[in-house]
Amino acid sequence: MKIALISENSQAAKNGVIHDALASVAEPLGHEVFNYGMYTADDSAQLTYVMNGLLTGILLNSKAADFVVTGCGTGMGSMLACNSMPGVFCGLVIDPTDAFLFSQINAGNAISMPYAKGFGWAAELNLQDCYRKLFEGTPGEGYPKERAEIMAKNRSILADLKGATCHDMLTVLKNVDQDLLKAAIAGEKFADYFFANSQDDEISAYLRGL
């Protein structure tokens, strides 16, 4: 699985800690981690939590990534921005129990975490435990197990609902503020990572055209 990490400007200084925690758990499980930044608070490409959502939509809909780990100060803004995108199902994860239940019940494709609230001593251990609960098992098996079938049915209904209420990603890219879009994909390593992994020629072509 290709896992993308996206950090926004208010919490960019913690990108290294977050990336190390994520890679230490995900890579031994056979997953690849792509760090889309921000890498430092002084990066020339500045990402807001709104851009986090737009970039998440691009990565997941193009299949350049299979899962996105993002966040902001509280985690709320990035979660809302992500869930405004077609095909993105983002959960707010604060602790390992959240991570386990989101994986088993919702089986979504993105999480948002609070990197200011409660991010203190041993924060990296909480991150590692959260990522372990997300990625060590098989998503969507249900909890409790006897409710797995109804949970799967509800996920399908939600996916259909989102499909009916959202435009496709290419339409989103064409309709969104183009300066916002350019800023969202201006990261230092975006082009290297994205175009090598994208499986959607139309999305790739549109972004190249910018």
> Total domain count for the chain?
1
Q: For 98-109, how does the pLDDT look when each residue is reduced to its tens digit (9 = 90+)?
A: 999 999 999 999
Output the average pLDDT for the chain. Answer: 97
State the pLDDT at residue 114: 97
Look up the CATH number of the domain holding residue 68: 3.40.1400.10
Side chain identity, residue 118: G
> What is the Cα–Cα distance from 170 to 88, expressed in whole angstroms?
14
Q: Print the domain residue range for 23.
A: 2-209
CA distances to 28, 108, 135, 168, 199 from 32, rounded to whole Å, are: 9, 18, 12, 26, 16
State the pLDDT at residue 156: 97
State the pLDDT at residue 60: 98
CA distances to 30, 81, 86, 184 from 53, rounded to whole Å, are: 26, 4, 10, 9
Q: For 124-152, how does the pLDDT look when each residue is reduced to its tens digit (9 = 90+)?
A: 999 999 999 999 999 999 999 999 999 99
